[in-house]
Chain A
């Protein structure tokens, strides 16, 4: 089966610009996650969706980050405006159900100059 797809794979922007990332989860997976992985650290959850509803966004910096999952399938994560400290790899993961194995996409590497 096809895995979790993410695009773009790499993105370089200047601070204060905006950027958007896209994720297509595995077909049939109800739960979708966005993680932020800063260099030298483990991934940290930004937001968790169950179908098209938000389950947990407690660690999402809502003044600049937003995410949506229209129709409970694809998802986009947006940063506006970007800061230098947003440089990281943004990982999307999906699972069939909330307690199931999470499958990760290849990630989007963001560099903010």
Chain B
């Protein structure tokens, strides 16, 4: 069975600092990987996705993630964060057969000035 582990429940950073949110997955089959962001009282918005091809994936709002098959990781990075990036971030996995997403527990990113 597939599962997702987000290694940090909370990540506090200062504005303009770099950030990495860590995600590991377990699966015995090929996977699709996603990062979603959730702002307070809103639904989830897709940041980026890995389906195949280049292991470095660029998304919206300056975020990027790297798929590492040997380490079964899909860490999210941003070189310089803004106050507006404060939100909950979820890593998710599905398989190419079209099953629903399996989410991690989320990481709260808090950006302060």
Contacts and interface: CB of A to CB of B under 8 A. Distances in A.
A42 B43 contact: no
A106 B42 contact: yes
B45 A43 contact: no
B29 interface: no
A42 B92 contact: yes
A19 interface: no
Which of B43, B49, B90 has the most C-beta atoms of chain A within 10 angstroms of its own C-beta? B43
A102 B94 CA distance: 11
Contact of A45 (B43, B44, B101): B101
A95 to B, nearest CB: 9
A55 B16 CA distance: 44
A55 to B, nearest CB: 8
Interface string B85-97: 0000010101011
For the side of the interface on B, what is the size category?
Answer: 20 to 34
A41 B108 CA distance: 11
Interface string B13-42: 000000000000000000010001000011
Contacts of B92: 42
A104 B43 contact: yes
A56 B99 contact: yes
Contacts of A101: 46, 49
A13 to B, nearest CB: 20
Interface of A: 4, 31, 33, 35, 40-45, 48, 56, 91, 93, 97-99, 101-107
Interface of B: 4, 32, 36, 41-46, 49, 90, 92, 94, 96-106
